């Protein structure tokens, strides 16, 4: 995502959408088996003679605490500052990218050096303009995808990647108002296939849906098939003082569980500043732990739609520190390359 969806607020627009709009201003830029998208394809083999990188992440409940900072990927300092403020060592560092930008190897290396896995939401944008997903699925943008995949494979360590996130929302050019699920699924599958052909098997594929959209299609319509997804990503925010984990996430999780048992990561979330914020932070941690979720990525950036940063809010920071201390934030990575 050119940005993390900053809280799908009451109106259902995510933070990522706000950041996407900002980037547009600054730069010139699932279907089940037998559905319209067709049957799941076989896993493609790597190109002959190509180095293949293998790396995986453990799916331990309540073990991932990530953060998105507005300075990422240009600088890692805000991630470190967040860790110091909250008494944590974030083990996922998220940033947003367009398809025409290269994988940020330096940011990824710094994240890895600090015990974090880099996560990237890749927007189908070329020099700021939306790329046609039907043309992407047909191979038009393969040189860009291969170049990106090669850098990821060269990095060698695990990388979490989402592509064309939140298609069930209306705010992106690749969303429900502009692209049919079958086209989106074909593009997702092709994107994953090209990475695999380039030997980038160090990717954890994060299928990311928005939970507070006003989309009319069920989440299941965007499902690309089990062989194309590693983890489920759900984006949702505590936008009002009345919001709870149940009110934001329960319905979507129930729907997801009818499709797959893949691990769930709350891939974008934050709690808006209010007197209820400390209690809602406790609710977020407790509910994820009790439901066996992987963890969450905190969107630590204010937007016109919400005040999400924890900076200077001592009651909220204290609640965050206390709850994080109950989690085991030390992912064990098994990896090999050949």
According to the 3-state scheme, what is the secondary structure of 13-41? CCHHHHHHHHHHHHCCCCCCCCCCCCCCC
pLDDT at 256 (0 to 100):
93
Measure Cα distances from 315 to 112, 272, 310 in Å: 30, 13, 10
pLDDT at 303 (0 to 100):
86
Half-sphere exposure of 265 (CA within 13 A, CB side): 31
CATH number corresponding to 15-29+52-333? 3.20.20.80
Task: Measure the CA–CA gap between 240 and 229, rounded to whole angstroms.
Answer: 32
pLDDT at 26 (0 to 100):
33
Q: Where are the domains of the chain?
A: 15-29+52-333
DSSP 119: E
Task: Give, for all 338 residues of the chain, the pLDDT tens digit.
Answer: 333 322 322 334 555 555 555 444 333 223 222 233 333 344 555 555 567 899 999 999 999 999 999 999 999 999 999 999 999 999 999 999 999 999 999 999 999 999 999 999 999 999 999 999 999 999 999 999 999 999 999 999 999 999 999 999 889 999 999 999 999 999 999 999 999 999 999 999 999 999 876 667 889 999 999 999 999 999 999 999 999 999 999 999 999 999 999 999 999 999 999 999 999 999 999 999 999 999 999 999 998 878 899 987 899 999 999 999 999 887 555 455 45
How many other C-beta atoms lie within 10 A of the C-beta of residue 324?
19
As given in the structure block, the two tokens for residue 89 are 């060592």
What residues contact 186, with CB distance under 8 A and at least 6 apart?
A: 37, 133, 134, 137
Q: In the block, which residue shows the tokens 């194309």?
A: 228
């Amino acid at each position: 995502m050119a940005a993390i969806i900053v809280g799908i607020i009451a109106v259902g627009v995510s933070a990522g959408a706000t950041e996407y709009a900002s980037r547009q201003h600054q730069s010139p830029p699932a279907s089940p088996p037998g559905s319209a998208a067709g049957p799941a394809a076989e896993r493609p083999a790597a190109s002959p003679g190509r180095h293949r990188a293998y790396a995986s992440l453990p799916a331990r409940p309540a073990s991932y605490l990530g953060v998105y900072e507005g300075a990422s990927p240009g600088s890692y300092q805000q991630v470190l500052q967040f860790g110091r403020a909250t008494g944590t060592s974030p083990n996922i560092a998220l940033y947003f990218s367009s398809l025409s930008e290269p994988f940020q190897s330096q940011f990824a290396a710094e994240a890895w050096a600090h015990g974090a896995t880099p996560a990237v939401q890749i927007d189908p944008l070329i020099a700021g303009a939306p790329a046609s997903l039907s043309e992407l699925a047909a191979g038009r943008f393969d040189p860009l995808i291969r170049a990106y995949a090669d850098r990821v494979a060269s990095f060698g360590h695990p990388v979490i990647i989402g592509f064309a996130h939140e298609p069930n929302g209306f705010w992106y050019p690749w969303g429900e108002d502009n692209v049919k699920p079958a086209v989106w699924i074909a593009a997702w599958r092709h994107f994953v296939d090209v990475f695999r052909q380039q030997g980038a098997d160090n990717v954890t594929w994060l299928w990311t849906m928005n939970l507070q959209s006003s989309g009319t299609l069920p989440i299941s319509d965007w499902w690309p098939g089990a062989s194309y997804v590693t983890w489920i990503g759900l984006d949702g925010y505590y936008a009002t003082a009345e919001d709870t984990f149940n009110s934001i996430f329960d319905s979507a999780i129930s729907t997801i569980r009818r499709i797959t048992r893949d691990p769930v990561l709350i891939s974008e979330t934050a709690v808006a500043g209010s007197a209820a914020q400390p209690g809602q932070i406790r609710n977020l941690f407790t509910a994820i732990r009790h439901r066996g979720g992987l963890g969450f990525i905190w969107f630590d950036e204010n937007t016109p739609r919400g005040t999400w940063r924890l900076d200077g809010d001592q009651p909220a920071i204290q609640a965050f520190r206390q709850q994080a201390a109950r989690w085991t934030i030390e992912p064990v990575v098994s990896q090999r390359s050949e």
